[in-house]
Amino acid sequence: MIRYLKHKEIDKNKWDKCIKESFNGQVYGWSWYLDIVHAGWEALVEEDYERVFPLTINKKFGIHYMFQPFFTQQLGVFSRSILNPSIVKDFLDAIPSKVSFVEIRLNSHNKVDDQRFKVTNHLNHELDLINTYDRLQRKYNSNTRRNLRKAQDAGLTLAKHIKPDEVIRLFRMNRGRTISHWNEQEYNRLLKLVYQSVYHSQGVVYGAYTSHNELCSGAIFVKSHGKLVFLFSGTSPEGKELHGLTFIIDSVIKEYSPGHMVLDFEGSDHDGLAQYYKGFGSKQTTYPGIVINRLPLIPRIGLKLLRRRKKKL
């Protein structure tokens, strides 16, 4: 039986035990992660936490709705045992009726074949680090190799465990200037998320420094369930020119190979980013996004405003 639990009713010890033992567990499912990205999250729980489904419910304009939280690529059903489309359907049907609109992304092991739901497959890229670094590097494309040589010729050096504040500052001073709709609350949430991931021994922050000892690129990774997730990065104009991010990713591949770890690039549906990630020899995977619309006609005006804001974010 699937139960709907409000936040205060969730047993987080049992929840995290389920996430730990789930065959499809991911870092996004840990209770500490959800507490940061969506305070007050609720849940669907089957039996004694055999399977779980986090609910990121909001309310605005009198409408209860669910959108994917920032910094959370995949959620959906996490399970200790086999999953099939029928089980996923049961969880989707159990979303409380008060929720009038749902636009979320499930995880790659959640298959949806019910025609009632609008499903869009999103792209991700992953690189299995089981092989030696030399074998992995031979699969880089020519552009990635050329950019890596430029970074090495420029004398870039790598530092590990730098302050996440520095990476976020790099982003805000450069690319962040073009997305001003990210407010202070989101940056603070990201900072808290990274510090918590480091506290849980799951977060690693890298920096690339120029020959003048200036930080030009930074990247944040989180580890869980055999995956190293590329969560966030920041780059200065000089870092972009010297390919500091390519230098960091190559260094991470070298550090973790050969080993039982998958580098998860966390995207992307954007063609340019997808090509960049493919340049490291990564393989394309997919995960479903679903839409459930229970709204009557009139409240859809409010929904359009919500979706417009979310697309900007």
Asked if residue 88 and residue 53 are part of one domain, the reply reads: yes
Same domain, 42 and 83: yes
User: Could you tell me if residue 279 is inside a domain?
Assistant: no
What's the pLDDT band for 305 if we cut at 50, 70, 90? low
What pLDDT is stored for residue 141 in this prediction?
Answer: 98
The one-letter amino acid at 297: L
Question: Domain for residue 87, yes or no?
Answer: yes
Same domain, 87 and 115: yes
Q: Is a pLDDT exceeding 50 seen at residue 217?
A: yes
Please tell me the total count of domains within the chain: 2
- Do residue 214 and residue 164 come from a single domain? yes
Mean pLDDT of 13-28: 98
Q: pLDDT digit string (tens) for 192-207?
A: 999 999 999 999 999 9
pLDDT of amino acid 183: 84
The answer to whether residue 19 sits within a structural domain is yes
- At residue 244, the pLDDT reads 98
Res 212 pLDDT > 90: yes
Asked whether residue 44 is domain-assigned, the answer is yes
pLDDT band at 115 (very low <50, low <70, confident <90, very high): confident
Do 92 and 145 lie in one domain? The reply is no
* Confidence band of 114 (pLDDT split at 50, 70, 90): confident
Query: What are the backbone angles phi and psi of residue 112, rounded to the nearest 5°?
Result: -120, 120
Quote the mean pLDDT of the chain.
Answer: 93
Together in a domain, 85 and 205: no
Q: Express as a percent the part of the chain with pLDDT over 70.
A: 94
What is the pLDDT confidence band of residue 62, given thresholds at 50, 70 and 90?
confident
Say whether both 7 and 46 belong to one domain.
yes
Asked whether residue 139 falls in the same domain as residue 218, the answer is yes
Which domain CATH number covers 187? 3.40.630.30
For residues 137 and 119, membership in a common domain is answered with no
Query: What one-character-per-residue DSSP string does the chain give?
Result: -EEEE-GGG--HHHHHHHHHH-TT--GGGSHHHHHHHSTT-EEEEETTTTEEEEE-EEEETTEEEEEPPTT---BS-EESS---HHHHHHHHHTS-TTEEEEEEEB-TT-----TTSEEEEEEEEEEE--S-HHHHHTTS-HHHHHHHHHHHHTT-EEEES--HHHHHHHHHHTGGGG-TTS-HHHHHHHHHHHHHHHHTT-EEEEEEE-TTS-EEEEEEEEEETTEEEEEEEEE-HHHHHHTHHHHHHHHHHHHH-SSS-EEE----SSHHHHHHHHTTT-EEEEEEEEEEE---STTHHHHHHHHHHHHH-
CATH value at residue 64: 3.40.630
Residue 280 lies in a domain: no
Q: Which amino acid is at 93?
A: D
Task: Report residue 312's pLDDT band, with 50, 70 and 90 as the boundaries.
Answer: very low
Task: Indicate the pLDDT class of residue 176, thresholds 50, 70 and 90.
Answer: confident
Residue 265 lies in a domain: no
Domain that holds residue 48: 2-123+287-312
Same domain, 255 and 236: yes
Q: Is residue 168 part of a domain?
A: yes
Question: Which of residues 260, 279, 301 is at a domain's end?
Answer: 260
| CA proximity to 225, closest of 79, 53, 54, 24 | 24
Give a yes or no: residue 238 inside a domain: yes
Q: pLDDT tens, 133-146?
A: 999 999 999 999 99
Please check whether residues 119 and 137 belong to one and the same domain: no
Is pLDDT of 22 > 80?
Answer: yes
**pLDDT tier for residue 177 given thresholds of 50, 70 and 90:** confident
Q: 267, exposed or middle or buried, with CB in 10 Å at 0-12, 13-18, 19+?
A: middle
pLDDT of amino acid 313 = 40
* 231 against 300, higher pLDDT: 231
Q: Is the pLDDT of residue 90 over 80?
A: yes
CB contact at 8 A, 110 and 88:
yes
Q: What pLDDT, on a 0 to 100 scale, did the predictor assign at position 299? A: 56
**32 and 86 both lie in a single domain:** yes
The per-residue pLDDT for 306 is: 56
Residue 116 has pLDDT above 60, yes or no: yes
Asked which of 122-126, 164-168, 269-273 is least confident by mean pLDDT, the reply is 269-273
